[in-house]
Amino acid sequence: MALDKQALEAELRALEFARTKILTGASRASVSFNGNSVSFQAANMADIQQRITEIKIALGSFKKGPTSPRFSL
């Protein structure tokens, strides 16, 4: 399991780096992981974000956005 967690964390770092490159103006970012290479463009930013979310859920570190306080009378 530790190896799987390390692999997911490494992939997460690579994807977050790719997302940052695209968001800061690079038109294309490539991620190489376990002998596979994938190129991302701004057009498929949603794919990057979806995979980042999947990995964070698998690692147990996914946090939903801020929630609104609820008041009861």
Kindly list the structural domains of the chain, giving each domain's residue range(s) and its CATH number in brackets, ordered by start.
2-59 (3.30.1580.10)
Global pTM reads: 0.59
pLDDT at 43: 59
pLDDT at 10: 92
Which pLDDT tens digits describe the chain residue by residue (73 residues)? 566 999 999 999 999 988 888 777 666 677 887 888 887 766 578 888 898 899 999 998 877 666 666 666 6
CB 15 within 8 A of CB 7: no
Q: What are residue 32's DSSP bridge partners?
A: 37
Alpha-helix runs per DSSP H in the chain:
2-23, 45-59
pLDDT at 9: 92
Distance from chain centroid for Cα 33:
14
In the numeric block, which tokens belong to residue 34?
A: 């376990």
